[in-house]
Structure 1
């Protein structure tokens, strides 16, 4: 990646922008206003921005889903499209506003009709319930109106009660003397009294039945208008669901062009733009820019500071590319670091599969992720990672001989290489050895990075020192505890290597290296989770099977109970089996592995014209 500066006459600015936009190779470095001013958007920019806003407004109002476009527009007549879109926007805006207004009216009318239907047994005028100030009115639902009336009789004889009996509740209209209002109010809660909000029908006068006859047709008319507008908008949505997103995509890219001068330096007669492009594209870029401007252009390599953020272009094969998701989640490598995507590709699925490690769970997760990839295409990268992890789970399921925790299938024992619930010590040793290998790979990558950035001596002391420490500690551990390999003078060799490593680390990393000495062993022991999570998951699956299977011999109730326990238990274990391995696999990458070599802080290479 090289940094270049392009300078030319202001009259050629539009041609240069068009050419760079078509080439899609220059990552523009935004110019900050200082001694040189920034440019103004191209003339057509305002018109394009206005049209883009209207199209986005239509997409929003019509509820059109934005999907990744399968094709792209090659050309769009902005002036003609603006005329059509402006007219369409006005029509849709009017209909949407009307629809919102009608919806509010329908909600209000529906509430009014509901209350009036409850009051339809009342043969008096509604205004009487509001205008007689000498009486207290109680209107609403109660559980037992007959029992309530008995209690009211004990309070006052000055009342009038009308009721409409319901299945579970009665609707009542109670008029009583003002002097008895407080006492009646105090007994109403015993009968679950719920007052009706009569303010909703405050506008009406006359008998409830007469009012209903009048407003029901109004409600139906509003409903028909609502349905008509919705049908109109649905038709538009179907007709424009593919064209509007294509136009939006085209205009978004066009806006990037029209607003490009805002990222460049300009004077009265000249312009200047700086940016990054791959070395291999330099000659071709110079050629096409010279052709576009008839040679009225200057392109020079620009120097840059060592600490300047150089954009990074990740270049991975299709199979490995989805694992770049984890770098986007964490941090991109800086320009002098090795891209670790391939190592995540090798490590993450193995760790995940080793922890979940069950044929049945692997098949279910594989099916789930394939379905989700169809339903949520915007999560395709992560789901591709999880599909590979599910395949790894199936492979390790065969290694451990497990199918939903069972060791037999259709009466036949599932063959296995390692029985992880019985061979716990073996699993622990394998997990720790994987940890050592993973960390050593990280240190070797760190050695390469240090070699190219700080020189050979620093790389040897700061990175190989840790490998020497691990070698020495491994030999000492073998001599003191395991005696797996016979090494002549093992104690002397192990001690010498450990001592040498401490000197190397002090020279390479100073006091920090001394402080971090115990940490490397903690990092290695962290890989024991590969064994621990797997054993826990397998153990829980076995317990679920042991509890539920005998129930299937207990008649219909036993079959139902056994099925519930079996399905619910495995569902919970499956969910935990997805979350735990995912998080712990990620931790082993970020905390144990990346800390051995990775600085990050890179900026993604985004060439002008690719947005």
Structure 2
């Protein structure tokens, strides 16, 4: 916690005859990230095996598609341990025989399906012509006439009549009938106008009827025959699926495992008979790795374990307790911490729902969010993304409930909890034109300034944690010499907040009390001047090696600019946290407006309408403002907090994993 998991660099030297067994062990351990150590020419035999596995997988996916095989739970199949090449030869033989049989049936189905579509089109066309009393035999060119039929869009009908009239000089007949959303048109004209009429029809997107068979009875008989053939062929495919679906699923898993393994093997270094496996592994998994690899290689492997070098890019695996795990997804949205950097996830796990609850405090709305989170957790078991988001919603809902009790609000109603607090004799009483009510802590609509002060205080604590984390990171990176400028920034920040509280009279807890206890001159001296001096001295010491007047002036200028930039950044970031109070007030005001509307005489007399407005208003606030509050909570962490200390320069730990769902290895 607070730091990524300790990693170790490994190097394994293994004889080629044991490589497949060792790779299977590494995949089963799921803890080794393999890195590429060999550039240039790859081992030709392994590349050919990889190509064959890729081709085999294409055949398997073809069978899955043609036979409509679904992933399903089957009894695991015991697979004897063999070399990758032996697995490949066996699977290619089995799969190719199934492909040959299925492909033959599929091609026949595709061919006969094409014939069925053509016949269906002919049948439809003949039925359309029949409805107009047109014999299909009339279509075409005779000694004197040209007859054609086809479909066009309704919007082109008038254009067709006009242009055919202009072309044929009234020597034509046009019959029309509407079918669905298109118009069937039959055009009859003299044979001499054929070419001109065909040109007109092409310009109007006229889909001429193309009849390969003009005998309706023969078409229907052939369609019935095709249906029988298709049914028989589909049954043949079903038989193949029933006989071989298990074998195909097992082959898919085995081929994918071996393909992934061969891709990894191509990245390994190799001498004549020895392969070199380089990678990273969590320190706590080292003993298990050594034991398993030695057992798999019968002791014919050399394993070396190394500490990471100071400037080495080490893959990052976050290590947090399970309750904090969901918030790793928020950390990763911004970027992973570098290996030696503080992991902010444990702090986010506390501050994220806390800030969300401050802005969205309502018992009812919080309960709905918590239930929604529980629903995502239980309905999407096994889906890590849903589990993470569901847990975050659950935590945010719980904190919204807590602050809802403190604000005295249930679905925006302040009377229910007010009566409870009055019976218990706890809380603070507020007087309004409509009567009195109680809250356990404060009312966002009646304690706006106090709430803004609390919001800024939360911001100060939040950014203060960031500055402390920054100091820790810099000490780890540069040693204790960096602690003075880091702590000077924190000191300067506290002094600046105290002056803000004094000048603007913001009731920021602790800081407003300090501001009232001491004169402004003392606050400026001890809270601003001294930390600024320390920051400038640190800058000068850092820059003046060797000493020079120009370097001195440059260092002073750089230091003063940094002070100004730091001051403006602290000011804008601190004020930014006022959004916590603003959104809390907006939440309360929106609910107040909804109940105010419902209390209007013309609405309150209609019970169903009042209920609809209350329910609809709550849903609107829950969804719309809930989303806004969530986005602003993320923003405060990403832009106001992370920028104080977080570099996010880590690379993700990606171990080599062999997933087995349908198979298990046996000795």
* Mapped pair 1:453 → 2:459: no
- 1:399-478 matched pairs, under 5 angstroms: 399-407=406-414, 416=439, 417-462=441-486, 464-478=487-501
168 and 240 in structure 1: CA distance in 2 versus 1, 3 angstrom threshold: closer
Residue of structure 2 in register with 1:125 after alignment = 135
Tell me, what secondary structure is at the counterpart of 2:272? coil
Given the alignment of the two structures, is residue 332 of structure 1 paired with residue 356 of structure 2, yes or no?
A: no
1:17 correspondence with 2:17: no
Q: How far apart, in 1, do the equivalents of 2:650 and 2:273 lie?
A: 35
Contact 2:149–2:184 at 8 Å: present in 1 too? no
Q: Name the SS for the 1:319 alignment partner.
A: helix
Per-residue CA deviations over 1:446-485 (Å, capped at 9, x if unaligned) read: 22221211112213313x2222012212333344453545
Instruction: Say yes or no: does 1:349 pair with 2:398.
Output: no
Whether contact under 8 Å (1:475, 1:491) holds in the other structure is: no
Counterpart among 470, 473, 497 of residue 527 in structure 2:
497
Counterpart residue number, 2:583 = 533
Give the C-alpha shift of residue 338 in structure 1: 1.9
Work out whether 1:29 is the aligned partner of 2:35: yes
1:138·1:195 contact (CA, 8 Å) conserved in 2?
no
* 1:15-164 equivalences in 2 (<5 Å): 15-33=21-39, 41=46, 49-61=54-66, 75=79, 78=87, 83-94=93-104, 107-131=117-141, 160=173
**Does the alignment pair 1:197 with 2:246?**
no
User: Structure 1, residues 201-247: CA drift from partner, whole Å, max 9, x if none?
Assistant: 34344xxxxx4443344445545655666677678879988886666
Contact 1:265/1:273 (<8 A) preserved = yes
Query: Secondary structure of the equivalent of 2:9?
Result: strand
Indicate yes or no: 2:414 matched with 1:390: no
TM-score, normalised via structure 1 length: 0.78
| C-alpha contact 1:106 1:222 (8 A) present in aligned 2 | yes
Task: Report the CA distance between 1:582 and its aligned residue.
Answer: 2.7
1:367 shift after superposition:
4.3
- Aligned residue in 1 for 2:12: 6
Among residues 272, 278, 282, which one is paired with 2:276 in the alignment?
A: 272
* Distance in 2 between residues matched to 1:178 and 1:403, nearest whole Å: 85
Residues 67 and 237, structure 2, Cα contact 8 Å, conserved in 1: yes
How far is 1:29 from its partner? 2.0
Secondary structure in 2 aligned to 1:309?
coil
Q: CA deviation at 1:440?
A: 1.0
Structure 2: state its 5+ residue gaps. Answer: 1-6, 82-86, 421-436, 506-511, 540-557, 660-667
Check conservation: 1:476, 1:491, Cα contact below 8 A: no
Shift of residue 423 of structure 1? 2.9
CA contact (8 A) 1:39 1:262 kept: no
Separation of aligned partners in 1, 2:405 and 2:240: 54
User: Structure 1 residue 25: deviation in Å?
Assistant: 3.9
Residue aligned with 1:263, SS: coil
SS in 1 for 2:140: helix
Deviations 1:317-369 (A, max 9, x none): 22221222223322211111122221221122233333343444444444444
**SS at the partner of 1:353?**
helix
Cα contact 1:366–1:391 (8 A) shared by 2: yes
- Cα 1:243–1:170 change in 2 (3 A) is closer
Alignment partner, residue 552 of structure 2: none
Partners of 2:242 and 2:580 in 1: how far apart? 51
Q: How many angstroms apart in 1 are the aligned matches of 2:612 and 2:103?
A: 52
SS at match of 1:521: helix
CA contact (8 A) 2:485 2:535 kept: yes
Q: Is the 8 A contact 2:338 2:647 kept in 1?
A: yes
Question: How far did residue 542 of structure 1 move?
Answer: 4.2
SS across alignment from 1:583: helix
How big is each residue's C-alpha offset from its partner over 1:91-119, in whole Å with a ceiling of 9 and x where there is no partner? 44455555555655555554444443332
Contact 2:327 2:392 in 1 (8 A): yes
Q: How many angstroms apart in 2 are the aligned matches of 1:597 and 1:436?
A: 15
Match of 1:317 in 2: 321
Count of residues in correspondence between the two structures: 593
Q: Distance in 2 between matches of 1:170 and 1:602?
A: 65
Q: 1:507 to 1:136 in 2, by over 3 A?
A: farther
Q: Report the 3-state secondary structure (helix = DSSP H, G, I; strand = E; otherwise coil) of the residue aligned with 1:120.
A: helix
- Find the residue that maps to 1:275 and give its secondary structure: strand
2:654 pairs with 1:606: yes
Give the distance between the partners of 1:410 and 1:56, measured in 2 at CA: 61
State the Cα distance separating 1:40 from its structure 2 match: 5.7
Contact 2:32-2:656 at 8 Å conserved across structures = yes
Identify if the C-alpha distance between structure 1 residues 478 and 519 changes in structure 2 by more than 3 Å, giving closer, same or farther: closer
CA change 1:423–1:163 in 2 (3 A) is same
How many angstroms does 1:46 deviate by?
A: 6.3
Q: State which of 573, 576, 591 in structure 1 corresponds to 2:624.
A: 576
Instruction: Determine if contact 1:73/1:250 at 8 Å carries over to the other structure.
Output: no
Indicate how the Cα distance of structure 1 residues 315 and 306 shifts in structure 2: closer, same or farther if over 3 A, else same.
Answer: same
C-alpha RMSD of matched pairs (Å): 4.9
Task: Tell me by how many angstroms 1:438 deviates.
Answer: 1.1
Q: Report the alpha carbon displacement of residue 504 of structure 1 after superposing the two structures with TM.
A: 3.6
Say if 1:552 and 1:559, in contact at 8 Å, map to a contact too.
no
Cα distance in 2, alignment partners of residues 235 and 538 from structure 1: 65
